[in-house]
C-alpha cells in the first residue's frame, strides 16, 4: 500500500504565518481536499509536498520514509501540477502533451496520445498551437496527461479551474479510476467532487 504523510508542517513568510502543525495521512485509494481562504497557504503546502518549497518545521513521508531518504523513488511516484496549466503557447496540444510526459520520464506511443486527446475533446485540435486554445482546452491537455501517466501520487492545485461541466465530470472519472488503481491524491480544490468521498484538510493560521 502506498502512503503519503505530512507531520507537523509549518511555513511562514516573514512575520506572516501561513500555517503550522498541519498533519495528514493518505493511503492508496484515498484523496484529501485542501480547503482554506485565499492566501491561507494551500498552494504552498502542495509545493512543500512536492519538494519545491522549504518548510519551517515538519516532514513529508512517502511509504513511511522521509522523502529526503527516498527522493528518487518519490519523484518517480509523484505527479505535481500547479495552478497554471503549464503549457507552451508555441507548441501544439500534442507536443505539449508529449513534453509534459517527457518531463516525468513517461513515454506513450502516438496512438495512445491521439486517443487521450480525443477523449478530452482535443482530437481535432491536437495540432493547433496552444495559444489558439481556450483556457479550458489548455486545461484539458493536463487531463490527457493524467490518463497517460501511471504515477500513484497526485498533488494537484485547483485542477478544475477553467473546466466546463463536461471537463469537470471527466476529471472526476479520472480521479475515480486513479483511486481504483490504488493511487492517492492531495488536491487543492473548492469543488465538491462526487467521484469519491474525500477528507477535508483545512489550511490557515
34-50 pLDDT, tens digit each: 998 888 899 999 999 99
User: Residues 103-116: what's their mean pLDDT?
Assistant: 93
136-152 pLDDT, tens digit each: 999 999 999 999 999 99
pTM, to two decimals:
0.93
Cβ–Cβ < 8 Å for 79, 149: yes
Averaged confidence pLDDT in the chain:
92
Alpha carbon distance 126, 114 (integer Å): 8
Q: Which residues pair with 79 in a beta bridge?
A: 154
φ, ψ of residue 12 to 5 degrees: the values are -125, 155
Amino acid at each position: 500500500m502506498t502512503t503519503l504523510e505530512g507531520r507537523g508542517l509549518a511555513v511562514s513568510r516573514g512575520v506572516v504565518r501561513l500555517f503550522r502543525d498541519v498533519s495528514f495521512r493518505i493511503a492508496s485509494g484515498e484523496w484529501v481536499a485542501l480547503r482554506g481562504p485565499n492566501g491561507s497557504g494551500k498552494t504552498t503546502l502542495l509545493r512543500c509536498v512536492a519538494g519545491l518549497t522549504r518548510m519551517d518545521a515538519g516532514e513529508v513521508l512517502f511509504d513511511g520514509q522521509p522523502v529526503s531518504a527516498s527522493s528518487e523513488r518519490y519523484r518517480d511516484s509523484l505527479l505535481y501540477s500547479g495552478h497554471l496549466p503549464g503549457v507552451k503557447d508555441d507548441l501544439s496540444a500534442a507536443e505539449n502533451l508529449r513534453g509534459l510526459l517527457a518531463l516525468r520520464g513517461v513515454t506513450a506511443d502516438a496512438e495512445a496520445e491521439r486517443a487521450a486527446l480525443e477523449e478530452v475533446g482535443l482530437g481535432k485540435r491536437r495540432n493547433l498551437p496552444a495559444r489558439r486554445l481556450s483556457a479550458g482546452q489548455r486545461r484539458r491537455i493536463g487531463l490527457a496527461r493524467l490518463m497517460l501517466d501511471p504515477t500513484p501520487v497526485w498533488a494537484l492545485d485547483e485542477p478544475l479551474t477553467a473546466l466546463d461541466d463536461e471537463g469537470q465530470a471527466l476529471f472526476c472519472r479520472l480521479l475515480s479510476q486513479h483511486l481504483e488503481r490504488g493511487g492517492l491524491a492531495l488536491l487543492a480544490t473548492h469543488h465538491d467532487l462526487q467521484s469519491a468521498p474525500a477528507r477535508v484538510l483545512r489550511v490557515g493560521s
